[in-house]
Structure 1
Amino acid sequence: MTSAAPEPPDARAAELVEAAVLADLARRVVADCGADVGLVGVPDGPDGMVLRHWAGTRADLLHNLRVPAGTGLGGRALAERAPTWVADYRAATTISHHYDAAVGADDLYAMLTVPLVNGGRVHGVVYASMRSVVPFGDVRIGSVNDLARTATRAIAGAAAWAGRSSGPGTGARLTPREHEVLRWAATGRTSPEIAARLGLAGTTVTGYLKGAMHKLGARNRVELLVTARRHGLIS
């Protein structure tokens, strides 16, 4: 039997850098942003993540917890590729409550989650959690976002150094607005519904979708979504 070829040293080094950056991110959320607990989930297959890094936890129910996309607050951030937060996780009505036992074991209430996105690829989701019911102000949200952006740049830099792509080539060509409209289209919203949600004209939304079709080589909306999912631009 032929053994699998060893992983190139540079690729392995990039993976070690990524793990170190994400572990440091969890610690800095606590040290620099005043959170009680910092967590970072890393992708696990095409439709979920696993909480691999943590700081400030008292129990271990959140450790190595798998979170499918769309479930809980972090799974919602993963699916929508956008930050989301609640002042009281336990009373929140906008998220699923699959992880109440794990959250309760660590006595957590307020929670903020920020996805680490670069070139259409999600590198993970960072959580900043508090053991009290408090609203997340602009300063704390901004500081967590800044840490997330810094970590994402470091991971992308390590991947580039190792000669790996930090995401599908086509993803880097989509503008942020095209990507945003594409994400909403993937949820089944019509162009008028997307326009109303984003405060845009219907023709503007259509223009963004046509731009994405052209860049991804798709001929219609269905083909656009299929191609985007294949490239990992949407879940």
Structure 2
Amino acid sequence: MDARSSEGRPPGPAQAPEPGRGGDAGAMRSAVLALHRATGLPMVFGGALAGRDRLRITELVGGRTDSLNGLVVRHGNGLGGKAMALGRPVWVTDYPRAATISHDYDGPVGREGLLSIVAVPIVVRRRVRGVLYGALREPLGLADRVVGAAMQTARDVEQDLAVRDRADEALTRLRPGAEESAARWEEVRAVHAELRALAERVDDPVTRDRLREATLRLAAASLPDPRDEQDGRAPRPVLSPRELDVLSYVAMGCTNAEAATRLGLVPETVKSYLRSAMRKLDSHTRMEAVAAARRAGLLP
């Protein structure tokens, strides 16, 4: 979980979120709920960056007051600010008396009655994107299980954000002139297939849905007008996730055997999914099915 660089330095000051990162708040909301379910801690909270060197706490479970809701935490200040600066988890067992942190936020923390607190930064590409907190209202040492659960939840969020960043970047690279776009579509299609395969291996349903949503955004980028169902065209066919997975690899030129290997299936199963997709798309060949899926905005 230590996000230090290969040179041993912690991440630099947090950067303002880049375009396309508006989903960080949603990822933090899911993380707070997941950590609360996993640990049963009396209070779990967190927030995403709200500027170059600060974050805003917006997601809370178990609060008794509104003192922490909307609180801005600056880089280096308090427990969360220290986690941001170091790029690794930090915790205290008696917050008001802790000598290892600054006490800029004693007022709001005290009004919530929080004593034992762990703060875990969300670090993607060596940049802090948010902080996840778990807390007790007693001066007790946080169990290894609790700290470990907080770190694992943070890793899950980091993976989620990294994958969605890659999808956003793939979309951004499509925007240059038309002479460059054709070559870049092949990379987008490879990312699309990779995201779909990854979604099937993710256990968390929220993260799985987000990955699938990212693939739909990539596919919709291929449409001249994303509002295709509002201009009189027939409704798009409904394919199952696995049918789309198979088609995404077929679109890259993979054989059934190659698609099976990448998806962890047997070739006969791939063939069955492909036949079903062809039937739904009213197609007679593999490439007809791919073309029909692209026209419908199901594939990039």
Instruction: Report the TM-score, using the length of structure 2 for normalisation.
Output: 0.49
Is residue 122 of structure 2 the alignment partner of residue 116 of structure 1? yes
Aligned 1:4-15 pairs, distance under 5 A:
15=22
Counterpart of 2:62, as a letter, is: G
Provide the C-alpha distance between the structure 2 equivalents of 1:157 and 1:55, rounded to a whole number of angstroms: 26
- Cα drift, residue 41 of structure 1: 2.3
**CA offset digits 1:195-218 (Å, max 9, x no partner):** xxxxxxxxxxxxxxxxxxxxxxxx
2:159 aligned partner = 153
Aligned 1:38-117 pairs, distance under 5 A:
38-117=44-123
Gaps in structure 2 of 5+ consecutive residues: 1-18, 172-300
Provide the C-alpha distance between the structure 1 equivalents of 2:39 and 2:25, rounded to a whole number of angstroms: 20
1:141 to 135, 138, 147: 147
Report if aligned partners of 2:53, 2:75 keep a CA contact under 8 Å in 1.
yes
**Could you say which structure has the greater relative contact order, defined with CA pairs below 8 angstroms and 6 or more residues apart?**
1
Counterpart of 1:15, as a letter, is: G
Is residue 129 of structure 2 the alignment partner of residue 126 of structure 1? no
Provide the C-alpha distance between the structure 2 equivalents of 1:24 and 1:57, rounded to a whole number of angstroms: 17
**CA offset digits 1:46-78 (Å, max 9, x no partner):** 222111211111111101111111111001001
Compared CA separation, residues 93 and 51, structure 1 to 2 (3 A):
same
2:46 is paired with a residue whose SS is strand
Counterpart of 2:36, as a letter, is: V
- Cα drift, residue 164 of structure 1: 6.5
Compared CA separation, residues 68 and 137, structure 1 to 2 (3 A):
same
Provide the C-alpha distance between the structure 2 equivalents of 1:115 and 1:164, rounded to a whole number of angstroms: 26
Provide the C-alpha distance between the structure 1 equivalents of 2:161 and 2:43, rounded to a whole number of angstroms: 22
- Cα drift, residue 99 of structure 1: 1.1
Provide the C-alpha distance between the structure 2 equivalents of 1:84 and 1:56, rounded to a whole number of angstroms: 21
2:254 aligned partner = none
- Cα drift, residue 101 of structure 1: 1.3
Report if aligned partners of 2:25, 2:47 keep a CA contact under 8 Å in 1.
no
Q: What is the root-mean-square deviation in Å for CA atoms of aligned residues?
A: 1.7
Gaps in structure 1 of 5+ consecutive residues: 1-10, 166-235
2:102 is paired with a residue whose SS is coil
Instruction: Report the TM-score, using the length of structure 1 for normalisation.
Output: 0.61
Total equivalences in the alignment? 153
Provide the C-alpha distance between the structure 2 equivalents of 1:42 and 1:149, rounded to a whole number of angstroms: 15
2:31 is paired with a residue whose SS is helix
Provide the C-alpha distance between the structure 1 equivalents of 2:118 and 2:36, rounded to a whole number of angstroms: 12
Provide the C-alpha distance between the structure 1 equivalents of 2:154 and 2:92, rounded to a whole number of angstroms: 18
Report if aligned partners of 2:124, 2:161 keep a CA contact under 8 Å in 1.
no
Provide the C-alpha distance between the structure 2 equivalents of 1:156 and 1:54, rounded to a whole number of angstroms: 23
Counterpart of 2:139, as a letter, is: V
Compared CA separation, residues 46 and 37, structure 1 to 2 (3 A):
same
The structure that has the greater radius of gyration is 2
- Cα drift, residue 147 of structure 1: 0.5
Provide the C-alpha distance between the structure 2 equivalents of 1:48 and 1:77, rounded to a whole number of angstroms: 12
2:34 to 21, 28, 33: 28
Share of identical aligned residues, percent?
31
Provide the C-alpha distance between the structure 1 equivalents of 2:136 and 2:170, rounded to a whole number of angstroms: 37
